[in-house]
Structure 1
Amino acid sequence: MIPPKPAARPDRVSLLRYLKLFRRDILSAQPQRLYRAWMAELRTPFFRSYLLNQPSLVQTVLKERPDDFPKSDRIGEGLRPLLGNSVFLTNGETWKRQRRIIDPAFEGGRLRDTFPAMWAAGEAAVARMGDGVVDVEPEMSHAAADVIFRTLFSIPIENEIAAQVFDEFRTYQRTQPILNAAAFLPLPRWMPRGHRAQTKASARVIRGLITRLTADRMEEIKVGRAPDDLATKIMTTADPQTSETFSTEEMVDQVAIFFLAGHETSASALGWTLFLLAMFPDWQERVAEEAAILDGPDFSVMSKLKLSRDVFREALRLYPPVPMMVRENACPETFRDRSIRKGSQMVISPWHLQRHERLWDNPDGFDPARWQTENGKTCMREAYIPFSAGSRVCTGAGFAMVEGPLLLSMLVKAFRFERMEGRDPVPVAYLTVRAKDGIWLRVRPRG
């Protein structure tokens, strides 16, 4: 059996048709040939885009010369009302300063410190999961948001403000298109960016709630009553070069991206992983057997959840939460004997790279055992980037690779997830790769 993926569009369509498809869903807007191409060009009246699948080109952009390929504002414009000047959108010295302050909070030792909060969120997720026919996407969103609030601010999702942020984000999530007018048109800075009124309203509400949490934590830090969690660590870390810490406004920007990236991407990955295990019950039973060792919040257990980690890794390969990343070349380039103007868009697509027919064995198949093969090990190094790569690799990548396998193991230990015939999910790209009409599974408690 092959897990579902969107049907590709015809190879040749008009630019207007392509833009309409792209705005609705960037995955089904792409032609099948991108799963074999090393490089492909898209021309618009205002700029050129180049999809890069050749591993050496991806390495050039992400690892070897990242300063020559800053993040493109064409995608960032759509997220700025919520994310402000967060580390996800900035470039240059501003971004480097932000990472110098943020990165220490996610170093190895801190993951051990956050583990009890992750465990508590996992126990809460198991307690909430009922039996019967369940759409697991909102359940995983709830669980992932709970992890973020417990690890960041030491509060469960049931906290009044946390619950309001979570509820409002569900509104934001469905009104925020992957692209807006600024992505395709050369708009001057003074011109409105084409954000939907409801999207902007939701962003204001979310930022207002996050500001309350952040300001309260600032006061707790001043009087010495702040818990030792991720928010306190980040807010008390000084830039080693300037000795400055984040202001409240800067911290609001960062918390917004922690919530968006840490909750939305984890929820996407967990939902698809549960579906894959329902589709391949033999693998699910193996994960359940491994999960029998879980017996309390002991971080050392993570080294023993090897199968769960490989299953989660394979789900991230097939359904990367962030399907495309866009960079802009700061100077003229020549890639594959093709001259590329300054200011062109370099599109790196985990969705296509991680299913590339000339790189992977059985690229569309679900095979967690691939990571122990020579092809899998090679592709892990050269063609596997669910968290990006290089200096801009997601700062929470290690966090996610603890959270995902842990919650997956806890859920599969407690429940059996079964596929619903005729209701297989169809992947589409909203803010992340989600299912068009949810991921509906039959859930049964294990005896």
Structure 2
Amino acid sequence: MMPPKPPSRPDRVSLWRYARLFRKDILSAQPARLYRAWMAEFRTPFFQSYLINQPDLLQRVLRERPGDFPKSERISEGLRPLLGRSVFLTNGETWERQRRIIDPAFEGGRLRDTFPAMQAAAEAAATRLRQAGPEPVDIEPLASHMAADVIFRTLFSIPIEHETAARVYHLFRDYQRSQPILNLAAFVPLPGWMPRFFNRHTRRTAREIRALIAELTRARMRQIEDGTAPDDLATKIMTTVDPDTGDRFSGDEMVDQVAIFFLAGHETSASALGWALYLLAIAPDWQDRVAAEARGWGAGSFSDMNRLRLSRDVFREALRLYPPVPMMVREAGCPERFRDRDVPRGAQIVMSPWHLHRHERLWQRPDEFDPGRWHTENGRQCQRSAYLPFSAGARVCPGAGFAMIEGPLLLSTVLRDIRVEPVAGRAPMPVAHLTVRARDGIWLRLVPRG
């Protein structure tokens, strides 16, 4: 099954045309040759960047020497209004301290504790979708609603219908549609004193989201002090002490972290879920198998999740074809040499799951939807060396395990009672906002199963 790809651009375009395309939509700006190249160089008057697809180079940057390749400040600038100094954007000692406090909340035992809240959100989503009428619906906002409900229930023990949760959700939907990944700072080296060029709407929406998160955080702090706080992820993170310093997150720091939890735990999951449902709509045989597995599973427990093998393979394949974060950028902290080419200090190192997951020299039938590939030798090898939906190494997403429980669970619960069907003439076109979304939505029909 061949899902649609974005239109390829010519291999050679002017710098400023490329910059305009890149800012508007990263995916459409990429030339076709990058799906077969091991490495590519891109020069501007201000900096050099290198896209790397070669597995041993990825290994060097992400696993062997991550400290020599910190997060790029250029790309971070585009997310700063919302995420502040969150763990997604920081480097060095600040990042290490943040991870020491955050990581315990996402260990296996904590995932087991959050599973009932996750399952309640999945059942609520299935109930809402069963009530949908016969007309086609855009599944993207519905997937966003499901993923946001999971985050609020597991993080703050409140459903999406809670007034503050609903407000954050709607503001974030607005923000992610209007905010490009890159702003001028990504292409032009602005001095630290110069204001960044965010439009008024972006700044206002980010302030409103952060104010609401601060309200939730202050309320939780009071509950912790009173001994009435629920035992959820927010409480765990806010009460965890850094074993090296004895410090906890301050209120302002917690706002930064909750913002990235919502971005990483809601926006990325929603993207993957929407594409997974579309892929199953155009592959009805796979969909029927997932539905049969879900009905056999029933309302299983956390320890039964390993029985949702087909659903997990489908979700993993959706993450391959439509990785929510299409590109990750690091900066060379010292002079390097990649493929007999000198890479200067300060160069931008681009690792692109979008290209890597469809690389013609690594994957068999890279553009085909085939959940069965994960049980082939090629699939197993590529999963180890050419599959980065959550990054890898020291900076792997702390919520990767959470996502791989949430995705298959939501997918199975929804498809247990509902069939999804494509709408003729409305094949979705992937574009990159904050994550990989569809330009005009993902339109499906939801049909009750007999």
TM surpasses 0.5: yes
| Residue matched to 2:46 | 46
Any residues of structure 2 matched to 1:106-185 within 5 Å, and which? 106-129=106-129, 130-132=132-134, 133-185=136-188
Alignment of 1:341 onto 2:341: no
Using the aligned pairs only, state the percent identity.
72
235, 244, 254: which one aligns with 2:247: 244
Q: Deviations over 1:96-154 (max 9, x none)?
A: 00000000000001111111101110111111111321110000000000000000000
Structure 1 letter corresponding to 2:133: D
Partners of 2:97 and 2:417 in 1: CA distance:
43
Aligned to 1:434, what secondary structure does the other structure show? strand
Match of 1:285 among 272, 285, 288: 288
Provide, for residues 407-446 of structure 1, a one-character-per-residue CA deviation record: whole Å limited to 9, x for no partner: 0000110100001111010000000000000000011011
Tell me, in whole angstroms, the C-alpha distance in 2 between the residues paired with 1:238 and 1:297.
34
**Aligned residue among 430, 434, 444 for 1:441:** 444
SS at match of 1:339: strand
User: In the alignment, which residue of structure 2 is the partner of 1:13?
Assistant: 13
For 1:189 and 1:124, locate their aligned partners in 2 and report how far apart those are by CA, in whole Å.
Answer: 47
Q: Which runs of 4+ in 1 moved over 4 A?
A: none
Over the aligned positions, Cα root-mean-square deviation in angstroms equals 0.7
Asked if the contact 2:297/2:307 (under 8 Å) is kept, the reply is no
- Assess if the C-alpha contact under 8 Å between 1:8 and 1:31 holds in 2: yes
Q: Which residue of 2 aligns with 1:93?
A: 93
Q: Distance in 2 between matches of 1:171 and 1:311?
A: 29
How much does 1:297 deviate? 5.3
Q: Any residues of structure 2 matched to 1:27-426 within 5 Å, and which?
A: 27-129=27-129, 130-132=132-134, 133-296=136-299, 298-426=301-429
1:119 alignment partner AA: Q
User: Per the alignment, in what secondary structure is the counterpart of residue 416 of structure 1?
Assistant: strand
Residue 135 and residue 273 in structure 1: after superposition, are their counterparts in 2 closer, same or farther (change >3 A)? same
The answer on whether the counterparts of 1:131 and 1:445 sit within 8 Å (CA) in structure 2 is no
Distance 1:221 1:42 in 2: 51
Instruction: Quote the Cα distance in structure 2 between the aligned partners of 1:378 and 1:408.
Output: 26
Q: In the TM superposition, what is the alpha-carbon distance from 1:298 to its structure 2 partner?
A: 1.3
Query: 1:33 and 1:413 mapped to 2: Cα distance?
Result: 41
Offset of residue 301 of structure 1: 2.1
CA contact (8 A) 2:181 2:433 kept: yes
CA distance in 2, matches of 1:346, 1:355: 19
Separation of aligned partners in 1, 2:138 and 2:173: 15
**Contact kept in structure 2, 1:48 and 1:345, CA below 8 Å:** yes
In the alignment, the residues of structure 1 paired with residue 115 and residue 171 of structure 2 have an alpha-carbon distance, to the nearest angstrom, of 27
Partners of 1:240 and 1:350 in 2: CA distance: 34
2 CA distance for matches of 1:131 and 1:292?
Answer: 23
Do 1:115 and 1:297's aligned partners in 2 also have CA atoms closer than 8 Å? Answer: no
Shift, 1:296, TM fit: 2.8
C-alpha offsets along residues 291-347 of structure 1, whole Å, 9 cap, x if unaligned?
A: 013333511220100010000000000000000000000000010000011000000
Q: Is the 8 Å Cα contact of residues 388 and 394 (structure 1) preserved in structure 2?
A: yes
* Whole-Å separation in 2 of the counterparts to 1:271 and 1:125: 13
Partners of 1:428 and 1:435 within 8 A in 2: yes
Distance between the aligned counterparts of 2:229 and 2:206, measured in 1? 27
Return the alpha-carbon distance in structure 1 between the equivalents of residues 362 and 246 of structure 2: 46
Secondary structure of the corresponding residue to residue 346 of structure 1: strand
Give me the whole-angstrom Cα distance separating, in 2, the residues matched to 1:444 and 1:392. Answer: 41
Q: Supply the distance in 2 between the matched residues of 1:406 and 1:85 (Cα, whole angstroms).
A: 32
Contact kept? 1:21, 1:29, Cα under 8 Å:
yes
Q: Does the CA-based 8 Å contact 1:175-1:196 persist in structure 2? A: no
Once residues 323 and 295 of structure 1 are traced to their aligned partners in structure 2, the CA distance between those partners, rounded to angstroms, is 34
Distance in 2 between residues matched to 1:380 and 1:100, nearest whole Å: 27
Structure 1: how far apart are the matches of 2:95 and 2:296?
41
C-alpha distance in 2, partners of 1:302/1:194? 46
User: Could you give the per-residue CA deviations for residues 166-222 of structure 1, whole angstroms, max 9, x where no partner exists?
Assistant: 111111112211110111111011111111110000000000000000001001001
